[in-house]
Structure 1
Amino acid sequence: MEFSTITLEKLGRYGILTLNRPQAMNAMDAVMMRELADCFEALQQEQEMQVLVIRGEGKVFSAGGDIKAMLDTNQPLDIDVAMTYLTRIAKAYYQLPMIVIAAVHGASAGLGFSLTLGADIIVACENSKLAMNFIGIGLIPDGGGHFFMRERVGTVKAKQLIWEGKVLTAAEALDAGLIDHIAPDGTVFAVADQLVAKLLASPLTAMITTKKILHTQNLPQLESILAMEAEGQSAMRKTADHLEGIQAFVAKRRPAFVGK
């Protein structure tokens, strides 16, 4: 399977999936969303790979959804098509029959952070910035962001983090329970390799079976949340606050929200 916005290396019992739009800070456009959905669905049938590392090419993990695509008047992003892709991504991602490590450097924001939070193990570079910052452009988390954040920190804390939309340092994210490990600057991929080596020397079949048992029990909740995210995000895209949010983002000014 060939892709234009991601790469997948299969290295025996582990693999590396790289978000590969460095010129756009690995922001996820419709093509990347479709390719991630196709990739994760194909990996459901993987027989040999037991560990998958997800990382970003270039300076960051992922800046999130492609805001420029939202503003493109010639070929605007179809929100309903995008939400269909994101539903496929999150469901297949959550059911991957392998241990997933997210190796974060630079930034992981918005949809990129949803992807990060869905990993089984998260390691972030100490100078990285992490943010569930949909609220800054008048949107709600998608890609299973509500579900993955709630799994990590519980309902009350998830609400507060989502509403605040704060950009967190790696240390703050670790204290909040959003990530598992911090790597010294410039070493996040090396630390991820060390985690892979440790896992490959572990009884992975038992570990993956535990993951399957726990995730299968939670899958109906994920599916329900994804349906509500799709409906809610479609509605948010039509609000005055969202239009103001993206215009302010592009103009690099503070948005003036009115709650509509």
Structure 2
Amino acid sequence: MQSSISTVSYGQIRVITLNEPKKMNALSYELKQDLFTELQSLQFDQDIKVIILTGSGKAFCAGGDVKAMQKPYDAESIRRNMELSKHIIMLIRNCEKLVISMVNGVAAGAGMSLALATDLSIAEKNVKFILAFKNLGLIPDLGLHYYLPNIIGEKKAKKWFMDGASLTAMEALGEGLINEVVEEGAGMEYAIEMAQQLIEGPVDSFIVSKSLINQQSNDQIEKIMTLENMHQTLLRGNEDHLKRLQTFFAQRN
């Protein structure tokens, strides 16, 4: 079976591309399995020092797999799916590599969470960051209840969640959500240049600093994700979510 991600190496740099462009790289169970397997294998690859995570086509990642939400409600299956998401985030945070997200097109819902979980983030100028959870009667996940309040403050985070906020790349930069904004189409070249500078570094000391910083909050993030997963699993069986899901697909037909 064809993998839903693609990879390429440039010396000590590994580029991982979410590669389901027709689905806007939504986080299907299959894509998450492939991403988890790749990240796990890279833990033991001493030759790779920097990982660049990006998406193919018009999106970095459109968030959760909405089409899969049409399947009959199965709490245990949903819980396992959410646990896989948690493991991916913790691999990104705990791996002895520097992880750069090169965000292109759209980063919606869990796609925004995925970008925030990386060590450094670059966004192309046309990028939109979208908190679309309310449209489906669901909550932010993949640690977003940790990241946003800590970056922008509790009151603003709550307002963004309730509004279903949408931000341009420049707005995200101004809020401290990302590190750099580059011209459309220039993101990957810039990310590789940044990765090369990190390698020339001293990269090993940067990796130690990453580890020391992340260790201060890893327990909190993992706890938040466990709670997010529990509540998201319950909300997936909620009547309001099911009605909103129906409306979502009716509007697309």
Q: Provide TM-score, normalisation by structure 1.
A: 0.89
Contact in 2 for aligned 1:54/1:102 (Cα 8 Å): yes
Give the AA of the match of 1:117. Answer: L
> 1:92 corresponds to which residue?
91
1:201 is matched with: 200
Q: Do the aligned partners of residues 159 and 97 (structure 1) sit closer, same or farther apart at CA in structure 2, a change above 3 Å counting?
A: farther
Report deviation, 1:57: 1.1
**Structure 1 residue 246 and structure 2 residue 245: aligned?**
yes
Unaligned runs of at least 5 residues, structure 2? none
2:24 corresponding residue in structure 1: 25
Query: 1:156 is paired with a residue of what secondary structure?
Result: helix
Q: How far does the alpha carbon of each residue in 1:60-96 deviate from its partner, in whole angstroms, 9 at most, with x for none?
A: 1111111011114599993112112112111112112
Counterpart mapping for 1:157-172 below 5 A: 157-172=156-171
Q: 1:147 to 1:43 in 2, by over 3 A?
A: farther
Q: Is the 8 A contact 1:69 1:77 kept in 2?
A: no
**CA separation in 2, counterparts of 1:8 and 1:206?**
26
Q: Measure the CA separation in 2 of the matches of 1:209 and 1:241.
A: 45
Q: What is the alpha-carbon root mean square deviation over aligned residues?
A: 2.2
Question: How far apart, CA to CA, are the structure 1 residues paired with 2:137 and 2:206?
Answer: 39
Give the letter for the 1:105 counterpart. N
Aligned to 2:7: 8
Show the counterpart of 1:122: 121
Aligned pairs (5 A) from 1:209-224: 209-224=208-223
Give distance in 1, aligned partners of 2:188 and 2:43: 25
CA distance in 1, matches of 2:248, 2:169: 24
SS of equivalent to 1:252: helix
- Which residues of 2 match residues 138-153 of structure 1 at below 5 A? 138-153=137-152
**1:147-195 deviation line (CA, Å, top 9, x unaligned):** 2334433433333322222121111111221111111122111221221
The equivalent of 1:81 in structure 2 is 80
The AA in structure 1 aligned to 2:194 is L
Q: State the one-letter code of the partner of 1:185.
A: E
Higher relative contact order (CA 8 A, sep 6+): 2
CA distance in 2, matches of 1:234, 1:204: 39
Asked if 2 retains the 8 angstrom alpha-carbon contact of 1:6 and 1:36, the reply is yes
Measured in 2, the distance between the counterparts of 1:116 and 1:185 equals 17
Equivalent in the alignment of 1:66: 65
Q: TM-score, normalised by structure 2?
A: 0.91
- Give the total of aligned pairs: 252
